[in-house]
């Protein structure tokens, strides 16, 4: 993507108001940065710009690793089975979720299948001798547990030496964090669509049910992964250092220069001239949209579900 420096945009905005770039006061620089940031966000979010739109495959937990030491409650994605598993055994490593997979036997001394609900499970009974891998509902706390070590009848599910508590596993995509918990290199902005497979390859498919939350996307179907189409989040340019270091998209440089100049002129009391520059900024934005839609012939893909 072609870029210019932030200072290039700032200088153009400054000169449009009749100011000398090298003589800007701190107050003026801060105002220009605020107006440029506002204009950038507005332009960024008004159209599905191809360079800001991302198609990305998303998983809901980190991959299983034989080298990782796991403890109770940790959830992994096991590519061999394309399923998610929750750890229930004693703290350990190098114990895969299934044995002899794909289609293998659950390694229930260490793992349980991660599910959003265990509602059909039988209630724990004090006289029953349970087998490893059995899941029960403990009426005292209304929680679910899986037995991972041989225990005698009457061993209560809260005894962590034999039972592992099962937490509800919801398929969730965090906007800022990867499934491993690390910070995303590209934060997920507005989400346009969610698909079970890559929509750029498979056209006829149904979107799974999903819900947008304050911090991410909650998937309502039991899929191993999804593909999401989203817009990158615009930068905030909240500090002078952040602004100076930013590679400003060339597509928006004229738009933001004109609009920032217009806002600054309004602050100066030159309302009519400021409004004129704001209108010119809108004209430039329309030209950029037309350039993408007509000259570059980019349109957002519309996928029609098959019958």
40-85 pLDDT, tens digit per residue, is: 999 999 998 999 999 999 999 999 999 999 999 999 999 999 999 9
Whether 151 and 195 map to the same domain: the answer is no
Measured in whole angstroms, the distance separating CA 244 from the mean position of its chain's CA atoms is: 27
- pLDDT for the residue 306: 42
Residue 304 lies in a domain: no
Instruction: Flag whether 306 is in a domain.
Output: no
Q: Determine, yes or no, domain membership for 198.
A: yes
* Assigned domain for 305 exists: no
Do 250 and 275 fall within a single domain?
yes
Q: What is the pLDDT of residues 137-170, one digit of tens each?
A: 999 999 999 999 999 999 999 999 999 999 999 9
Nearest to 96 by CA among 67, 132, 58: 67
* Mean pLDDT (the chain, rounded): 94
Structure tokens at 24: 């800007």
Tokens for 127, please give them: 């006289």
- Which residues are CB-neighbours of 60 under 8 A, at least 6 positions away? 77, 84, 169, 171, 172, 173, 179, 219, 225
State how many domains the chain has: 3
How far does CA 75 lie from the centroid of its chain?
18
Rounded distance between C-alpha atoms, residue 261 and residue 255, angstroms: 10
Residue 252's pLDDT is 97
Short-list 255, 231, 288, 257, CA closest to 51: 231
| End residue of a domain, out of 232, 250, 268 | 232
- pLDDT the model gives residue 275: 98
- Same domain for 143 and 90? yes
- The pLDDT assigned to 302 comes to 47
The alpha carbon of 156 is separated from its chain's Cα centroid by a whole number of angstroms, namely 40
* Omega of the bond leading into 143 within 30 degrees of 0 (cis): no
Is residue 69 domain-shared with residue 126, that is, in the same domain? Answer: yes
Domain, as residue range, for 287: 3-51+234-295
Do both 101 and 42 map to the same domain? no
Same domain, 83 and 153: yes
Q: Rounded CA gap, 144 and 167, in Å?
A: 8
Residue 303 lies in a domain: no
Mark which of 139, 168, 197 sits at the end of a domain: 168
For residues 86 and 152, membership in a common domain is answered with yes
Last residue of one domain, picked from the residues 201, 232, 263: 232
Whether residues 98 and 152 share a domain: the answer is yes
Q: What is the pLDDT of residue 300?
A: 56
Is 307 a domain residue? no
Q: Residue 146: inside a domain, yes or no?
A: yes
Q: Is residue 112 part of a domain?
A: yes
CB 196 within 8 A of CB 205: yes
- 128 and 94, same structural domain? yes
In a shared domain, residues 74 and 148: yes
Domain co-membership, 84 together with 162: yes
**Residue 146 and residue 67 share a domain:** yes
């Amino acid at each position: 993507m072609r870029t210019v420096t932030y200072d290039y945009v700032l200088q153009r905005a400054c000169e449009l108001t009749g100011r000398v770039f090298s003589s800007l006061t701190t107050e003026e620089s801060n105002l220009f940065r605020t107006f440029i940031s506002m204009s950038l966000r507005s332009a960024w979010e008004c159209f599905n710009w191809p360079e800001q739109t991302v198609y990305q495959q998303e998983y809901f937990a980190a991959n299983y690793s034989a080298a990782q030491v796991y403890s109770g409650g940790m959830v992994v994605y096991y590519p061999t089975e394309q399923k998610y598993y929750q750890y229930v055994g004693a703290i350990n490593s190098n114990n895969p979720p299934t044995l002899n997979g794909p289609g293998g036997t659950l390694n229930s001394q260490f793992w349980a299948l991660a599910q959003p609900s265990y509602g059909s499970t039988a209630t724990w009974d004090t006289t029953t001798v349970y087998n490893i891998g059995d899941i029960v509902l403990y009426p005292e706390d209304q929680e679910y547990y899986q037995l991972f070590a041989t225990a005698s009848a009457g061993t209560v599910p809260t005894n962590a030496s034999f039972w592992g508590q099962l937490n509800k596993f919801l398929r969730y995509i965090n906007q800022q964090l990867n499934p491993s918990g690390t910070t995303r290199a590209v934060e997920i902005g507005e989400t346009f669509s969610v698909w079970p497979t890559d929509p750029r390859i498979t056209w006829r498919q149904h979107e799974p049910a999903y819900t947008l939350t304050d911090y991410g996307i909650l998937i309502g179907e039991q899929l191993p992964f999804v593909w999401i189409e989203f817009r990158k989040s615009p930068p905030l340019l909240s500090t002078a250092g952040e602004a100076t270091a930013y590679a400003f998209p060339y597509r928006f440089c004229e738009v933001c220069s004109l609009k920032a100049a217009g806002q600054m002129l309004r602050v100066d009391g030159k309302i009519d001239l400021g409004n004129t520059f704001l209108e010119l900024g809108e004209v430039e934005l329309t030209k950029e949209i037309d350039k993408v839609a007509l000259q570059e012939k980019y349109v957002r893909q519309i996928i029609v579900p098959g019958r």
